[in-house]
Amino acid sequence: MSEQPVPIKPHLDWSAYESSNSFGFDPFGGDFGAPGSGFAKAAAGCLGKRNCHSQDIGVMCPSYRVTQDEQHATLHRAETLKAALDGAYGPHPFAGPELAAAMDLCVSCKGCKRECPHGVDMAQLRVETLAQRWQALGHVPLRERLFAHLPRYAHLLKYLNWAGIVRSRVPLLGKLMQRVLGIAALRSLPHAAAQDFLSAQPHAVAATEGAREVVLLVDTFTNHLSPQIAQAALEVLQAAGYTVHIAQAAACDRALCCGRTYFSHGLIAQARAEATRVLDALTPFAERGLPVIGLEPSCLLMLRDEYHALGLGERVGKLARYAMLLEEFLARELDAKRLHLPLQTLDEKVLVHGHCHEKAFGAMPALEKVLHLVPGLQVELIESSCCGMAGSFGMEAEHYDVSMQMGELSLLPKVRAAATNTLLVANGTSCRHQIRDGAAREALHLALVLRRALA
């Protein structure tokens, strides 16, 4: 039997949901200023339409598509969260097993925010639930802290590449790491580049007279794992005639990070601190109306989405207006007849896998449009849901099998069936990692394809 509603102090800003007419009812009996009421109303936005049980082409719900178990769909997660806030699981529901089990297979794909008729943002609800859980338990598990704090030690990864090589050759070491840290023994570890991108870039760039100015925001993953992508993006933008400012933190400070790893693991204070550093660095550019261009979908789109939930004030709205992915920027410039990019013919076929957030935020048409700029390129989109990697999800031992099953639904079989000379495009770091592990193929970022086609 339900007890009294559980009062909580949310870690995120849910004020956008605290309207007296939100969803037509009030789970807190009319007290719209009650602690946590916006969070409760966000969960109550699910009205049981069951779109998350659909098998049609789309993004959501990846876990339900694999398990066919309604307990692994958005609807069940929302119902469990509502029950917890209503007191059904006692006065400390966030420390209990019910919510943990309900949220366990959520990959934060954002599909529900786009495809649910009521826009339920289960990815953000999951983050708040995680933050409440760590607070209730009094600690954050070691593995989650390792993943979350990646931006802090990413510069050291290049010195640890040997460990990944040894681990791949000595199965016992992988099994030991799985037992101690919970990192799947069958999953490869990321390989860092010998030289990151940002450390070699000047802090100030002189603008060419008459050239349009843009800002390139290089995320942690691209900077340390795939700096060639950032270099390619820089060369493509310069070839198109733009003056490119490289987003940098203050002198002698570490590289900028959007805060995605912290946010995804429920470490809200740290995510807010990282976001504040980004706002400090980029607001002057946004105030000048300069486009801020990102390369990693989950990182760049955080500036347009989750930053609003971090309670950072009006600067978020200003920056969000100018934050866009490389493909979105180029497509916009093309539509405005301002894009002059010298491209030669590539008589090749390319298969494109869209990152979940690219799909959720409607960036796929822009990606397809920009690829069609390359003469001779034959573009085919892979109709797929989540690749299954989903950040650290596919690295976690208990999730490895489900992760691979998500990939096997459509993405990995399609990649394996492709001719060896077919180009593969996947803009997400995690997506490329999954393709490498599951199909033994290397996928490219859009920027690399465009640089390849530069005349």
Mean pLDDT along residues 109-114: 90
SS3 314: helix
**Quick one: pLDDT at residue 3?**
65
**Quick one: pLDDT at residue 133?**
97
Q: Alpha-carbon distance 267 to 271, whole Å?
A: 6
Q: What are the pLDDT digits (tens) for 4-26? A: 777 889 999 999 887 644 433 33
Instruction: Output the DSSP codes for 345-361.
Output: ----EEEEE--HHHHHT
Q: Alpha-carbon distance 448 to 59, whole Å?
A: 26
Place 118 in a pLDDT band, splitting at 50, 70 and 90.
Answer: confident
Per-domain residue ranges for the chain?
A: 15-137, 142-181, 198-335, 349-453
The answer to whether the beta carbons of residues 186 and 221 sit under 8 Å apart is: no
**Quick one: pLDDT at residue 24?**
34
Residue 57 has pLDDT above 80, yes or no: no
Span of 4-8, 239-243, 342-346 with lowest mean pLDDT: 4-8
Mean pLDDT along residues 335-360: 96
Question: Which is more confidently placed, 172 or 20?
Answer: 172
Mean pLDDT along residues 323-340: 98
Q: What are the pLDDT digits (tens) for 195-240? A: 999 998 887 787 778 889 999 999 999 999 999 999 999 999 999 9
**Quick one: pLDDT at residue 276?**
97
On whether the pTM is more than 0.85, the answer is yes
Residue 251 has pLDDT above 90, yes or no: no
**Quick one: pLDDT at residue 19?**
64
Q: Give every CB contact of residue 340 below 8 A, 6+ residues apart in sequence.
A: 240, 241
**Quick one: pLDDT at residue 30?**
37
- Show the tokens assigned to 221: 């993953």
Mean pLDDT along residues 417-438: 98
Q: How close are the terminal C-alpha atoms of the chain, in Å? A: 70
**Quick one: pLDDT at residue 114?**
87
Task: For the chain, give the mean pLDDT.
Answer: 92
Question: Hey, how many other C-beta atoms are within 10 angstroms of the C-beta on 68?
Answer: 11
The answer to whether the beta carbons of residues 126 and 108 sit under 8 Å apart is: yes
Q: Alpha-carbon distance 246 to 256, whole Å?
A: 11
**Quick one: pLDDT at residue 203?**
74
Instruction: Output the DSSP codes for 114-172.
Output: HHSTT---HHHHHHHHHHHHHHHHTS--HHHHHHHTHHHHGGGGGGGHHHHHHHHH-HH
Give the long-range contacts of residues 149-153, CB within 8 A, separation 24 or more: 149/261, 149/262, 149/270, 150/220, 150/261, 151/220, 151/254, 151/255, 151/257, 151/261, 151/262, 151/274, 152/254
Residue 116 has pLDDT above 60, yes or no: yes
Residue 28 has pLDDT above 50, yes or no: no
User: Which value, to the nearest 10 degrees, does the dihedral of the CA atoms of residues 188, 194, 197, 199 take?
Assistant: 130
Class of domain 198-335: alpha beta
Q: Alpha-carbon distance 201 to 215, whole Å?
A: 13
Q: Give every CB contact of residue 138 below 8 A, 6+ residues apart in sequence.
A: none
What would be the CATH architecture of the domain defined by 349-453? 3-Layer(aba) Sandwich (3.40)
**Quick one: pLDDT at residue 252?**
65
